[in-house]
Amino acid sequence: MMKTYGILNCNTVKKALDWLKAHHIEYEFNDFKKLGVSSEKLQEWDERAGYEKFLNKQGLTWKQLDPQVKESIRTSNDALKLLQQKTSMIKRPVIEDGDFLFFGFDEEVYKKHFNV
């Protein structure tokens, strides 16, 4: 079954889940706030997509970080450690459906992948 990761009070996650429900697409949801995300899962995403795809530098959590912390992110290990501590900096939702891995909500990408 497809897995979806995110934070339930995030507007983008709400839009994506509403879209999936409206199109009768089943999914298993993992709430970062309640369940966290394993270092192994972050490593897998990094290997498949590169951490730059899912480190959300547009969000409030990143913007509120101390400039020294931001500057210290030089390698994927640095980024993944930070993302595990501050899961709200992961671009969301994360959709895993077989070989399909997507960060965020883009209706056109969803339509194409789910043949809607």
Interatomic CA distance for residues 113 and 116, integer angstroms? 8
The yes-or-no answer on residue 41 being catalytic is no
DSSP 35-85: H---HHHHHHHHHHH-GGGTB-SSSHHHHTS-HHHHHT--SHHHHHHHHHH
Q: Which of 4, 5, 6, 10 is catalytic?
A: 10
Backbone conformation region of residue 115, classed left if phi is above 0, alpha if psi is from -120 to 50, else beta: left
Partners of 30 in the beta sheet? 5
Active site residues: 10
